[in-house]
Amino acid sequence: MFAVSVEHTFSAGHALRNYKGKCENVHGHNYRVRVRFEGEKLNPTGMLIDFTDVKRVLRAATERLDHQFINDLTPFTEVNPSAENMAKYFYEELVTGMSGVADVPAMLKEVEVWETDIQSASFRP
């Protein structure tokens, strides 16, 4: 099994709804997002998936949230902007953005979102 991971960072603010504690107040993070693709075969060039394609799609997904108040953006007007929900959001954005891009079957296996250097949440389908 082969695996390819790409990370990207962005900064944004949010506030957790239905939460009692500091995080119910507006605050910000320097987020880090890592996506991991896996597959059994490599393309004729010897790659599972092109890093350039993954970076392009991941940057587009994070750019929409960069320096924004996440609670004001769809789907987070309805869905609480927790790290767990953000990981699922990025998973869905990457699956859509990467459809038809790879030469060989590569599956997005995990998205991990860090709010700090020591705290992260992930989504796996």
Q: Which of 7, 24, 63, 67 is catalytic?
A: 67
- Annotated catalytic, 115? yes
Q: Which helix H or strand E contains 17, and what residues bound it? A: none
- Annotated catalytic, 23? yes
Q: Which of 14, 29, 93, 115 is catalytic?
A: 115
Side-chain-side CA neighbours of residue 54 (13 Å):
23
d(C-alpha 44, C-alpha 123), whole Å: 30
Cα 95 vs. chain centroid, distance in angstroms?
11
Q: Which of 7, 23, 24, 27 is catalytic?
A: 23
* Residues carrying an active site annotation: 23, 67, 115
